[in-house]
Amino acid sequence: MYRIIDGKATAATVREEIAAEVNKIKEQGGKIPHLAAILVGHDGASETYVAGKEKACSAVGFYSTVIRYEDTITEHELLEKVAEINKDPEIDGLIVQLPLPQHINEQKVIEAIRPAKDVDGFHPVNVGRMVIGLPAYISATPAGILELIERYRIPTEGKHCVVIGRSNIVGKPMSILLSRKSYPGNCTVTVCHSRTQHLAEITRSADIIVAALGKAKFLTAGMVKDGAVVIDVGITRVKSDKTKSGWKLLGDVDFEQVAPKCTYITPVPGGVGPMTIVSLLKNTLLAARREIYPS
Ligand code: GUN
């Protein structure tokens, strides 16, 4: 019988732990963590994510500020705002919600954020530090997955982990983190992507599969060996007449087919998703404490 990795419940536990830390900070008269988010335009998914981040901040007692711009803002204006927040001692962490409008160079904006405030962990300095094992902000989705693996005490040492997808935000960091000399880690990692040949053969030899390619129900039973651990990072929104919102979320894994073969599996929704926001909160707490970049 497989076990569900309950991201929703785990995220609630982590939020309680963070809230307890905030109470301690308050008692000691320390700095309350403060996250700023810049949101450009009116992309539906981005609005939802930023609202979720605001709500999570208030749930644990953090301050949060959302700075909104119409999608007519120039790159220069956006960069000036980032520079201003970089210097603001009140704000500990800054995220610029992606995607940005076409006329703005996303990479340029990411690189404008001070690494010490880059709680998304997207700045090349944080990515580079993570790669060589220096203290760094680890981006929220991979950090959330590591937290789930740890809290469910899933063995990783010597295991063959197959990561499907090579994005900068998930696949690439995940593959590096799981091969680190630590727990979770010490895996033998294979990264698969859109040009991989004989993918099913490779995934069938995996002890752990991280599906992060963004194709609904891509991973099917024939691609998974008995006893595997399956982590589903997919969130494809599809129209549904069965939900109140008119939308439902599909993962990259065909859950009904795959789950019976697994020892552990994450559902969608309620798996990796809820963990990403708490990872951002944890990074913001680290930022407020100046733990990664002592000044
Ligand atoms: N867009 C989709 N995911 C993310 C994220 O984790 N951070 C930011 N800033 N934008 C995103």
In a domain, 279, yes or no: no
- 216 lies in the same domain as 151: yes
pLDDT at 126 (0 to 100): 98
- What mean pLDDT is predicted for residues 68-94? 98
Please report, for the domain that includes residue 194, its CATH number: 3.40.50.720
pLDDT over 90 (residue 295)? no
102 is an active site residue: no
254 shares its domain with 197: yes
- Our answer on whether the CB atom of 94 is closer than 6 Å to any ligand 1 atom is no
Q: Of residues 6, 120, 207, 252, which has the active-site annotation? A: 120
92 is catalytic: no
For 161, the token pair is 């982990």
pLDDT band at 170 (very low <50, low <70, confident <90, very high): very high
Residue 292 resides in a domain: no
Q: Looking at the structure, tell me whether residues 90 and 155 fall in a common domain.
A: no
Q: Are strands 236-239 and 247-250 parallel, antiparallel or unpaired?
A: antiparallel
| 236 in the same domain as 163 | yes
What distance in angstroms lies between residue 142's CA and the mean position of ligand 1's atoms?
A: 12
pLDDT score recorded for residue 143? 98
Q: Within this chain, do residues 253 and 166 fall inside the same structural domain, yes or no?
A: yes
Count structural domains, the chain. Answer: 2
| Res 287: pLDDT | 98
Sign of torsion over alpha carbons 65, 280, 7, 60: negative
* Composition of the chain by helix, strand, coil, percent to 5: 40, 20, 40
**Tokens 């998974």 correspond to what residue?**
224
pLDDT at 200 over 90: yes
- Mean pLDDT, to the nearest integer, of 82-91? 98
Output the pTM of the full model: 0.96
Q: Is the pLDDT of residue 46 over 90?
A: yes
pLDDT digit string, tens, across residues 241-274 = 999 989 999 999 999 999 999 999 999 999 999 9
Mean pLDDT value of segment 204-231: 98
Q: Which atom belonging to ligand 1 lies closest to the Cα atom of 139?
A: 6
Inside any domain, residue 217: yes
Whether residue 280 is contained in a domain is answered as no
pLDDT band of residue 62 (cuts 50, 70, 90) is very high
Burial of 140: CB neighbours in 10 Å, binned 0-12, 13-18, 19+: buried
Q: Which domain holds residue 194?
A: 140-274
Same domain, 113 and 151: no
Q: Which atom of ligand 1 is nearest to the CA of 280?
A: 6
The verdict on residue 294 lying in a domain is no
